[in-house]
Structure formats: C-alpha cells, structure tokens
C-alpha cells in the first residue's frame, strides 16, 4: 500500500522534437541571486532515462508561491497552484509504449510502492475514478535522515523493485506510464524532508525570492537541466486535420504527395503571456505555401498546438523538399524556434 501524496492536477501540457534552432534558455545564475551553499540533502541524479531537450522535457516545476498563485523557482510560470514536484514529460504515448525507464535519484531503500492502476488518461475516466490513487502506480525511496523521493504515474506492471529492497542511484525502478491523475505520460518526481516538500532546484532558497540555492542535483544532472522558457515537443507533417489528442496518441495520418492536404504542425509547451507564434511552410521553389500567425497570448499556456497547411493541388505536390519553420516572438525578440521538413 502506498499513501502517495499528490497535489490536485490543474492544467497539463506537452513536448519535443529535433533540430533545435533557437531557444530562450538560461541557468539560474543569469537572473537569480546564487549563493555557494553546501548541499543540504542527498545528491540526485536524473530520475528518467532520457535526454532533456531531445527525448524529454520538464513540463512543470514545484510551486513556490505560498499564496493563491503559482510560481517556479525561476519566478516564472512553469508550475500550477500546489504542484509539489517536478514533471518529466516524454513526447507521446508511442514513446511511453516503447518504454522509458524511471531511475532511483539517489541510493536508498524502497519504503512503499503500488502497482495495478490502469494506464489511462484522467480525461477519459474522470477525477472520481482516481480518488485516493492520484499518484497512480508509484514508488517511494527512503534515503535516510528524513529524506525521501517519490515517483508517480508509473506504467502498470513495470515495477522492477520490491518493498524493502536497497537501490543504487540510477537503478531502474519502473517505466513511465499514464496511471493516476494525469493526461499525458510523464514522471511526477517529488522530494521530501521529514514529510515537507522540498524543491530540488532551490531547497535552501526563500520562497519569496528568485534564487537557485543549494540545488540537490549532481553536477552532471544539473548541467543537463538548463531552465527553458518554453520548448517544442512535437513537430511533423500530416495529410489532414490535426488534433491535440491525435498528437498525444501518435496517431497522425502521415503526409503524402497525393493525400488530401499537406499540414505542418507544432506542439509547444511553457509559452508565456504576450507570446506571438508563427508557422510558415515553403515549397521546393521557396514560395510560401501556408502561413499561420497567432495573436499575442492573453495568458501563459501549458501547451499549444499550431498548424498551417493547404489542400493538395489536382496533380499532387511537386517533388522536392517542403520546409516548415516555427518561431515565437517574445518582447520583440525571437525566443524559440524550430525547423523541420519533408521530401516527396
């Protein structure tokens, strides 16, 4: 039995792709007061067997706002009210079905676990169905001296450890799933000290300040966790209409020369109020075939699906390379971009 504490879920979002052309990214030292502080807890390794920025992204951080709002350790909006952990998200259900290992973040002993919760989106079954099992299938590892880490939303039947088992840092525990209170496959990772939530990015920082002080991550893990103010999760070309559900299911009808249409799509996460999104498709001759511009966002968006396309001409698409470019304007500057292409 696993009394796994998980904050109520609010908005959720999505993730990644390839060939990053430009990205607004920064380390805590660029905007925050950083002090050299001795690590106050266990040294943590990345708890997912993935490459941040390529095969996974951080969707949400710990909510450090003590009031009714939500704010991450960077004083940005990559969180939601009472979110008590860090969400490591993989691109879609195809990646989840292929298997992505969840790893012990530090040495310890498995103190609690749960298995048997179905992998199904809470959008399908409703919140009432996961009442009491919000974490889904999960594992808690005791690291001693009051420190513990918790791993939620694991795939049913994927747990490879037993209660009471001693584990090493980086040892597989299970695989990412879709169990519990979640709408997309990810690991919800929580750190606690004596039962109190700890932000692993800034465990020694005052919640009212933008500080990254005494991060628990190892040097190798910390170097991989560059704070990104937005990210591209999925890109591609489709032969017709695209929906968020189809992208999540990896069920997009592939583009073809004779398909009804050619549609470029992008799913991005972590967008900010005021962001202006663009998506442009050009043909082999360099002419613009389709273009979409979204007005400035009225509020931060956990995720956004943007697409641009046109109907296939009567004789099909001319052979050659079709290029799509997505970019985000923020404060008059290009903050995020991605290019991708298809060849007929």
Last residue of a domain, one of 175, 209, 243: 209
- For position 78, what pLDDT does the model report? 85
Residues 237 and 196 in one domain: no
- For position 64, what pLDDT does the model report? 84
Is the distance from CB of 172 to CB of 160 less than 8 angstroms?
Answer: yes
The band of 211, judged by pLDDT with boundaries at 50, 70 and 90, is: low
Residues 247 and 122 in one domain: no
Residues 289 and 164 in one domain: no
Each residue's pLDDT tens digit, 278-287: 999 999 999 9
- What is the span of the domain harbouring residue 270? 231-343
- What string of DSSP letters covers 167-229? E-TT-EEEEB--BSS-SS-EEEEEEEETTEEE-TT-TTS-TTS-B--S--B-HHHHHH--EES
Instruction: Give a yes or no: residue 317 inside a domain.
Output: yes
Report the share of the chain in percent with pLDDT over 70.
87
Residues 146 and 246 in one domain: no
Whether the per-residue pLDDT at 133 is higher than 80: the answer is yes
Residues 177 and 245 in one domain: no
For position 127, which CATH number holds? 2.70.70.10
Residues 83 and 166 in one domain: yes
Q: Which residues contact 32 (CB under 8 A, 6 or more apart)?
A: 74, 75, 209, 210, 211, 212
Residues 280 and 250 in one domain: yes
Average predicted confidence (pLDDT) for the chain? 88
Residues 115 and 235 in one domain: no
Residues 198 and 318 in one domain: no
Residue from 183, 190, 216, 276 nearest 6 by CA:
190
What average pLDDT does the segment 307-312 reach?
A: 96
The band of 337, judged by pLDDT with boundaries at 50, 70 and 90, is: very high
Residues 240 and 133 in one domain: no
Provide the token pair at 166.
């001693």
The band of 38, judged by pLDDT with boundaries at 50, 70 and 90, is: low
Is the distance from CB of 239 to CB of 259 less than 8 angstroms?
Answer: yes
Each residue's pLDDT tens digit, 109-125: 999 999 999 999 999 99
Work out the angle at residue 110's Cα, subtended by the Cα atoms of residues 109 and 113, and round it to the nearest 5 degrees.
170
Alpha-carbon gap, residue 258 to 237, rounded angstroms: 14
Whether the per-residue pLDDT at 33 is higher than 60: the answer is no
Each residue's pLDDT tens digit, 288-297: 999 999 999 9
- For position 213, what pLDDT does the model report? 67
- For position 138, what pLDDT does the model report? 98
Q: How many CA atoms lie within 13 A of 142 on its CB side?
A: 14
Instruction: Give a yes or no: residue 54 inside a domain.
Output: yes
Alpha-carbon gap, residue 247 to 249, rounded angstroms: 5
| Bridge pairing between strands 231-238 and 172-175 | unpaired
Instruction: Give a yes or no: residue 20 inside a domain.
Output: no
Provide the token pair at 144.
């001693």
Instruction: Give a yes or no: residue 16 inside a domain.
Output: no
Residues 50 and 94 in one domain: yes
- Name beta bridge partners: 20: 338
Residue from 226, 220, 199, 218 nearest 27 by CA:
226
Whether the per-residue pLDDT at 159 is higher than 80: the answer is yes
Q: Is the pTM of this model over 0.85?
A: yes
Report the share of the chain in percent with pLDDT over 90.
75
Instruction: Give a yes or no: residue 25 inside a domain.
Output: no
Last residue of a domain, one of 209, 244, 274: 209
- For position 8, what pLDDT does the model report? 38
Question: What DSSP character marks residue 52?
Answer: B
For position 288, which CATH number holds? 2.60.40.2550
Instruction: Give a yes or no: residue 219 inside a domain.
Output: no
The band of 67, judged by pLDDT with boundaries at 50, 70 and 90, is: confident
What average pLDDT does the segment 129-143 reach?
A: 96
- For position 301, what pLDDT does the model report? 93
Q: How many domains does the chain have?
A: 2
Instruction: Give a yes or no: residue 17 inside a domain.
Output: no
- For position 18, what pLDDT does the model report? 25
What average pLDDT does the segment 302-307 reach?
A: 96
Q: Which residues contact 108 (CB under 8 A, 6 or more apart)?
A: 42, 141, 142, 143, 144, 148, 149, 166, 167
Whether the per-residue pLDDT at 163 is higher than 70: the answer is yes
Residues 42 and 180 in one domain: yes
Instruction: Give the length of the chain.
Output: 344
Last residue of a domain, one of 209, 244, 259: 209
Instruction: Give a yes or no: residue 18 inside a domain.
Output: no
Helix (H) or strand (E) holding 124: helix 122-125
């Amino acid at each position: 039995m696993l009394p796994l504490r998980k904050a109520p879920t609010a908005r959720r979002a999505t993730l990644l792709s390839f060939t990053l052309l430009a990205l607004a990214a920064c380390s805590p030292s660029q905007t925050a007061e950083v002090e050299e502080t001795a690590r106050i807890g266990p040294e943590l390794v990345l708890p997912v067997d993935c490459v941040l920025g390529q095969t996974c992204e951080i969707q949400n951080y710990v909510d450090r706002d003590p009031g009714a709002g939500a704010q991450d350790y960077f004083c940005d909006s990559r969180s939601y009210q009472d979110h008590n952990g860090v969400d490591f998200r993989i691109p879609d259900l195809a990646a989840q079905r292929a298997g992505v290992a969840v790893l012990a973040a530090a040495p310890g002993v498995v103190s609690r676990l749960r298995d048997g919760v179905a992998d199904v989106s809470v959008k399908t079954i409703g919140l009432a169905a996961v009442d009491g099992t919000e974490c889904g299938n999960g594992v808690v590892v005791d690291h001693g001296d009051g420190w513990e880490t918790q791993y939620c939303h694991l795939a049913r039947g994927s747990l490879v450890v037993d209660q009471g088992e001693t584990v090493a840092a980086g040892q597989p525990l299970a695989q990412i799933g879709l169990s519990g209170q979640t709408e997309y496959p990810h690991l919800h990772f929580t750190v606690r000290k004596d039962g109190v939530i700890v932000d692993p990015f800034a465990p020694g920082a005052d919640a009212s300040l933008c500080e990254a002080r005494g991060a628990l991550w190892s040097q190798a893990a910390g170097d991989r966790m560059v704070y990104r103010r937005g990210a591209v999760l999925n890109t591609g070309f489709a032969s017709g209409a695209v929906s968020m559900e189809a992208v999540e299911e990896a069920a997009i009808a592939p583009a073809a020369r004779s398909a009804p249409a050619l549609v470029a799509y992008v799913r991005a996460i972590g967008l900010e109020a005021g962001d202006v999104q663009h998506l442009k498709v050009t043909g082999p001759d360099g002419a613009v075939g389709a273009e979409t511009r979204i007005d400035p966002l009225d509020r931060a968006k956990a995720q956004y699906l943007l697409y641009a396309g046109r109907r296939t001409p009567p004789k099909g698409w001319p052979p050659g390379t079709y290029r799509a470019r997505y970019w985000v304007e923020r404060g008059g500057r290009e903050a995020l971009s991605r290019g991708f292409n298809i060849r007929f």
